[in-house]
Chains A and B, each alone.
Chain A
Amino acid sequence: MSSGPQAQVTLAPPAPVFARRTLADRESVLGPLMLAPALVYVILLVGVPFVLAILLSFSSATAGSLDFNWVGLRNFTRLLSDPQFHRSLGNTLRFMLVSQVLVMVLAVTAAHVLDAAFVGKRLVRSLLLLPWAAPVALASMAWVWIFDSTFSVVNWTLKVLGLLPGWLYWFGEPGLATVAIITVHVWRMFPFATVIVLAGMSAIPQDIREAAVVDGAGFFRRLFHVNLPMLLPVVTVAVLFGVVFTATDFSVVWLLTRGGPYNSTHVLATLAFQRGILGANLGEGAAVALFLLPVLLVAAVVMLRLARRAEVGT
């Protein structure tokens, strides 16, 4: 290190290197410069509209004119005494909870099936992914047709099996419409959750699984005492995205029922659209949508925790 001649030998050549040390080499400039477009985009087109969403909810803005009147909490107080809003809030939570419970049961089961060895496994796996990958608006139209009031194949099949004495008007009755909406949510989300859980299962060390088998643990003991506890973080991620996607969903409810019959299946997203865009009352629409914020905040906090865990873990 300290031998003079050697140090001189290494010092001699750098001259041309220094000459080339321009912008292309200054990482303190290059780093922010490369990041800037993404940050600017996100701040201008997510951050600003987000703030605007909050501001609009305190205003009486309409789609037609461009003025902006501050009305304080009026939109919110009006909503809190609006039975249709209560119904929408309840529906959002109900659709989300019921579909997520079903999704997780199906996903853990399907992941265990796909984890076992059988002929045609790869094919089954890729077919299971179809509902998640297909555009949701188009898939919803297929379900609209499946649940059609005169041509429903579901009704035909139930009739033939002798399980249906009367007739099911799927979108004509609040209870049935709810069943239809939840069916589509479950259909769409369970493949996604299955793949996540499966990825988590393959990350469980093989020796732990084998040790449980050797120790004589049965299937359910292994499931509840080994697999599920080890899967917890990954199941959390699956639930988290499931919750965010179903709670904020607009397309499925809008295309299946338009919030009907008699406005009984509106969720926050569709009600916000109806009031804010179709009804041109931007302020009230923004206020409705803002009630989704608590769900998103919880999701963000859990995400941050998981990310921190990973940071500490590695």
Chain B
Amino acid sequence: MTGRAVLRGAKRVALYTAAAVFTVFAVFPFYWMFLTAFKQNRDLYVGATNLQHVPWIFNDPPTLDHVRLLFFGTPYLVWVKNTALVGLAVVAITLGVAVPAGYSLARLAGRWGERLGIGIFLTYLVPPTLLFIPFARVISLLGLQNKLGALVLVYPTFTIPFCTWLMMGFFRSVPRDLEEQAMIDGYSRLAVIGKVVLPLAVPGMLTVVIFAFTLVLQEFVYALTFISQVERMTLSLGVPVALVRGDVFYWGSLMAACLITSVPIAVVYSSFIDRFIAGLTAGAIKG
């Protein structure tokens, strides 16, 4: 009996240890951003050969200097504004295109709906890596280099396929009976969509907004290809590329920018991740 208790205790210890190891691995870079963002320079730039100086903690009182420099001495706020503009435009386009398409595929396209839906979803697998070179030519033909318009035009290529697929799933989950009942009551199909279906699909549309926005925030390749002017950059391009002066990295401000930008996104995103996963695995999991 005690042997069994020991075994169970050992299992608990192993479980908690494993959970701790995974968490530390996942969180460590964020902890590092945090430390770097608030450390004084003399605490920060101590070579790793000095074994007496422990880099894992604040050895001197934390400072807000790097954050101040980031906000008032760098174009960070301009990038925030650019990102917000591009994000809003892309979200609007995505909603306007993906919501009707999702409904059409779920309800109106019949047996072709499924196949077309999968076809549209598969375009999500065509990566920017394959398309940035032809786009470089298209963008220069359109005269959109160094313009935020280039990003607004191109980003929906990955938000629309995924969000159409998401919305299709959402509309499928709206009970058909509700719609049919409303149509028997004399509403047209369009009126049913407006008055019955869309209110029920608000959580779905919210998910689309979040995903479209975070996908925009995550994007790097297209931004790097189309934008070279610092004032036209978005956050995910400007922070890694333009917070360097010559060969000198301003690590304090750089990590402050990474922390301030990624933590809010990560928190919002992870609260929606189950829907994202449900969209990706539709088919592999039978629920």
Contact = CB atoms under 8 A, between A and B. Distances in A.
20 contacts: A20-B186, A31-B104, A34-B104, A35-B108, A38-B97, A38-B160, A113-B15, A113-B18, A132-B270, A137-B237, A151-B55, A195-B273, A196-B277, A196-B280, A236-B284, A237-B284, A250-B128, A276-B136, A303-B125, A304-B122
Interface of B: 12, 15-16, 18-19, 22-23, 25-27, 29-30, 32-33, 36, 44-49, 51, 55-56, 96-98, 100-101, 103-105, 107-110, 114, 116, 118, 120-123, 125-138, 140-141, 153-154, 156-157, 160-161, 164, 186, 188-191, 214, 217-218, 220-221, 224-225, 235-237, 239-240, 249, 251, 254-255, 257-258, 261-263, 265-267, 269-271, 273-274, 277-278, 280-287
A38 B47 contact: no
Contact of B137 (A22, A52, A187, A290): A52
B261 to A, nearest CB: 6
A244 B127 contact: yes
A233 B127 CA distance: 23
Contact of A124 (B19, B96, B141, B263): B19
Nearest to B119: A42
Given A38-B97, A137-B220, A145-B32, 15 more contacts: A24-B189, A41-B157, A45-B154, A52-B137, A56-B134, A114-B19, A128-B23, A129-B270, A133-B267, A141-B240, A153-B56, A196-B280, A234-B281, A290-B130, A292-B127
Contact of A199 (B110, B188, B277): B277
Interface in A154-209: 155-156, 159-160, 167, 187, 191, 195-196, 199-200, 203
B97 A41 contact: yes
B134 A116 contact: no
Nearest to A23: B190
A151 B47 contact: yes
A141 B250 CA distance: 12
A308 to B, nearest CB: 8
B104 A61 contact: no
Could you tell me the dominant secondary structure of chain A's interface residues? helix
Contacts of B48: 150-153, 155-156, 159
